[in-house]
Structure 1
């Protein structure tokens, strides 16, 4: 792995930590915070690609696991990985991987619409696909009840985050093409 790749991985793990500086907004009765960090996997996977994006998220999660208070609200440590909302955290690394993989496939024809669709699929679909079953198991709710009664309230905000991420991904592609995903560089 090149030094540049290591720098990007660390830099984007730091970006994920910086997104945690925004205080979480708790919805009464749900116990799941609305955070800016859920936009992180969209940005990280979309800009770095699958491999570097996934490694960046793993680095971030490892730092949280060893106790660094990098999650929104200053949380960190192993306890962050066992709460009712922890499934969403597990979904971050997978989301960055999937988003990066898909962005790499459309890099040469990437536009806002494609970036938005991929951000929605990975940043909402994948994260909810991991987080909702976890929340359902931890809260004792059924899957449908966990989604319709609890998670559906988060979708409008997550769509806004996907739009912001898509705009940034496309802008970075145009302004700083040196951060091209790995597969695109090998094809070009």
Structure 2
């Protein structure tokens, strides 16, 4: 129990640290950040429930005003900005990513973690992000989806990196993945 609580806090902090990498803000007000890599890693390393809890903790701290988002943003105002849908999707994305890693054991861990990051950390996250763009910017579904496509190349690279980092962690520290406590080799 204590280890789980500690790791949830550590991965919320990791997501905050990834926010220190300077963002690239797109013309429609949504920044491209490294923080979605943190969301993916929460799922691949911590698993579904703990990954979602880490992201809920992160969002609680942001809502309380801590400047943890890329660019030093925080407070309740970020939850009505064009990027709000993506933020709200963080816990769901981590959960979906972790759920896939926990259950799909027929393929190598790195591949599973990479694919899970695409399904959870991109597809599930984009569902929330696109809905947020539609509401905040008054765009249609096709228009908002087209805007979200600007993030796809970077997010695909982050998904590949999440798969590689997860497999590397499993090799370096067998048994350290809460998403797969029984893994002893990647």
Gaps of 5+ in 2: none
What is aligned with 1:22?
21
Could you tell me the TM-score, scaled by structure 1's length?
Answer: 0.92
Cα distance in structure 1, aligned partners of 2:118 and 2:154: 11
SS of 2:81's equivalent in the other structure is coil
Could you tell me the TM-score, scaled by structure 2's length?
Answer: 0.92
Residues 35-44 or 103-112, more deviating? 103-112
RMSD over equivalenced CA pairs, Å? 1.8
SS of 2:104's equivalent in the other structure is helix
Shift of 1:109: 4.2
What is aligned with 2:149?
152
Equivalent runs, 1:58-69 vs 2, <5 Å: 58-69=56-67
1:186–1:156: structure 2 CA closer, same or farther, 3 Å change rule?
closer
What is aligned with 1:91?
89
Shift of 1:85: 1.2
Cα distance in structure 1, aligned partners of 2:36 and 2:79: 15
Equivalent runs, 1:135-146 vs 2, <5 Å: 135-146=133-144
CA contact (8 A) 1:103 1:110 kept: no
The structure with the largest helix share of the pair is: 1
Equivalent runs, 1:6-155 vs 2, <5 Å: 6-28=5-27, 30-107=28-105, 109-148=107-146, 150-155=147-152
Gaps of 5+ in 1: none
Residues 155-164 or 171-180, more deviating? 171-180
Cα distance in structure 1, aligned partners of 2:105 and 2:20: 31
What is aligned with 1:176?
173
Shift of 1:115: 1.8
CA contact (8 A) 1:136 1:143 kept: yes
1:187–1:17: structure 2 CA closer, same or farther, 3 Å change rule?
closer
CA contact (8 A) 1:45 1:96 kept: yes
Cα distance in structure 2, aligned partners of 1:51 and 1:111: 19
